[in-house]
Amino acid sequence: MHRLGFAAAATAATASLFAAGTAEARDQIRIVGSSTVYPFASYVVEEFGATTQYPTPVIESTGSGGGLKLFCAGDGPDTPDITNASRPIKVSEYERCQDNGVQSISQAVIGSDGIVLANTADAQRFELTLEQITRAVAAEVPRNGKLVENPNKYWDDIDSSLPHNEILIYGPPTTSGTRDAFEELVMEAASEEMGYDGPYTKIRQDGAYVPAGENDNLIVQKLTRNEEALGIFGYSFLDQNRDRIQATPVNGVEPTTEAIAAGDYPIARSLYFYVKNGHAGKVPGLYEYVEMFLSERMIGDMGYLKDEGLIPLPAGRREEIRQAVLNKERLTRLEVKALNQ
């Protein structure tokens, strides 16, 4: 099992040594961030601890937003070395890093993933569109040229072809990159055609959508206990639980590795981690871990993480990312801005 959480802040003397780069302030890599990336990073963490001379890193699932908040809090030994993310860093987060002395960050893209909706395998299978999903989760919906509080209580309130099941969706909280990606790829994409004045991402808070924390395995457990519920999580959790849950096709497309890699599945996104270059040489094994994570053995077409549900990037793109990160190429504000457009 991984050791979770952070120890108390380092002493002033240790922090001073760390900042000066004259000594190793701690001997374990510390990693935080996305619950979606967590299973992939955990696999690398275990392999790294078992096959190298370095201690097994400490890893914590905090959500993408929570991880970036910790990561950007400063450059000292009491801050993480790496944060995982299921969406790109935001401009505001990048600026917070810069303001707090985290001047050099490298961005790694490890592969692709899809956001899936699923229910228990024992229940009736859903088939939904982006618009139907938005009408289920939005706080307000357009009606007669105005926005009104979402009146939809049952799925057949949205469309008579859907089951007469109460709308109950277990999904990621506001700190999650999966939530950010869902809002962008589902709600923003659908709202443009639905009569909203502009992109709409406000999720209802009347009990139809239930934030279920950063542990996607708990969502899977909840689905097996309630046949009417749907869950939202990363594709890897579907892949690991196909004996218990079934996927919902979206816009007529099944969430498969082929459809996600080809861009045919409408709720697909890239997965990331960010490394703090200022910790190079101060935390033993930091770039050895990064090199292992980005190796063909892990993220390649026949890599271990493909068996865990990661969808590999094209070979040329993998090599480009690997070289940029290992060369400690610094992510710029312009690049961050472009990622978020």
On whether the pTM is more than 0.95, the answer is no
Give the model's pLDDT for residue 10: 39
The pLDDT, as a whole number, for residue 19 is: 54
pLDDT of residue 263: 84
| Confidence (pLDDT) at 1 | 39
Report the SS3 class of residue 39.
Answer: helix
| pLDDT of the residue at 178 | 86
Rg (CA), the chain: 21
Q: Which residues contact 47 (CB under 8 A, 6 or more apart)?
A: 292, 298, 304
User: pLDDT below 50 — which residues of the chain?
Assistant: 1-17, 22-23
CB atoms under 10 Å from CB of 157, counted, come to: 15
Beta carbons of 310 and 270 less than 8 angstroms apart: no
| Closest to 313 in 3D by CA, of 267, 261, 251 | 261
Q: Is there a contact between 173 and 219 (Cβ–Cβ < 8 Å)?
A: no
What pLDDT score was predicted for residue 22?
42
